[in-house]
Structure 1
Amino acid sequence: MQLKQPQRGITTLGFVFLILIGVFFVFTAFKVVPPYAENRYIVSALKSLARNNDDLFSVSSTDIRTQLTKFYTVNNVRTEGRKNLDIDRRASRVIITIAYETRVDFFHNIDLVFSFNNQLDSSAPEQCCTPLEE
């Protein structure tokens, strides 16, 4: 006489639950990835600015804005970050700050707010794009 083995596997309800969890994570990824991707382009623009200009202190503010705008146009950067540019000239260095927030509609009345703060210090371009000072 053989004993029956219990069935192994997932039930239909369990499978639907797993599919819903997967859909939630994919939906979240579609909302979260674009702001980080655009910020990565902004960081790349700052690094390119530091790499292409040996003496960033001698470059005028208008030229800095023009170079960044060209980079944003080529890479299709459309966030508010490209407009929030602050150029602070000090005694022997230039600090370029791009600080902005992005709000993304997540679900119904729930929004995700992303806050980015990128700084380029001409005296330490290798430390681009983390905030050096508040």
Structure 2
Amino acid sequence: MQLPKQQRGMSTLGVVFVILVAVAVVFTAFKVVPPYAENRYISSALKSLAKNNPDLFSLSPSQIRSQLTKFYTVNNVRTEGRKNIDIDKHASRVVITIAYEERIDFVRNIDLVFSFNNQLDSSAPEQCCTPLERNLSND
């Protein structure tokens, strides 16, 4: 019987290391994906608000909040962002801002902090859900 000059495959230590890395990646994904998924629902709510109401300026702030709340209820959005709705009416447009932070326990005393800032400007609804770069006080 002839022995090969080099063995092929991973050692037990190598397999354990690969399994630990895979578990760490899956654990991190379970912690990171839900906040981004809920923020996606929040931005979808703003997009559907703009799509279903071409004239946002005619809606009152309570009507806007009501429509967003209905969308959040249907999609089971529980994050803090559903409460932080800021509606600013300017001379010819409405700016709806949903800005919030979410803190998630990661491991023991390590927390993950996610900051989200979604804005809808009725004068540019196609640019929904990205923060405005221009100064709103210039209206």
Q: Give TM-score scaled by structure 2 length.
A: 0.93
1:70 and 2:87 correspond? no
Secondary structure of 1:119's counterpart equals: strand
Give me the identity figure in percent.
79
Deviations 1:31-76, CA, capped at 9 Å, x for gaps: 0000000000000000000000010000111100000000000000
Name the CA distance, whole Å, in 1 between partners of 2:95 and 2:130.
12
Secondary structure of 2:102's counterpart equals: strand
Matches within 5 A, 1:81-96: 81-96=81-96
1:16 and 2:16 correspond? yes
Matches within 5 A, 1:1-134: 4-133=4-133
5+ residue gaps in structure 1? none
Residue range with higher mean Cα deviation, 4-13 or 101-110: 4-13
Name the CA distance, whole Å, in 1 between partners of 2:3 and 2:79.
65
Secondary structure of 1:77's counterpart equals: coil
CA distance change for structure 1 residues 19 and 2 in 2, over 3 Å: closer, same or farther?
A: closer
Name the CA distance, whole Å, in 2 between partners of 1:4 and 1:100.
61
Name the CA distance, whole Å, in 1 between partners of 2:107 and 2:50.
39
Q: Give TM-score scaled by structure 1 length.
A: 0.96
Aligned partner letter, 2:117 = N
Deviation at 1:95, TM superposition (A): 0.2
Superposed CA RMSD in Å reads 1.3
Deviation at 1:8, TM superposition (A): 0.9
Deviation at 1:19, TM superposition (A): 0.1
How many residues align? The count is 134
Deviation at 1:4, TM superposition (A): 3.7
Secondary structure of 2:95's counterpart equals: strand
5+ residue gaps in structure 2? none
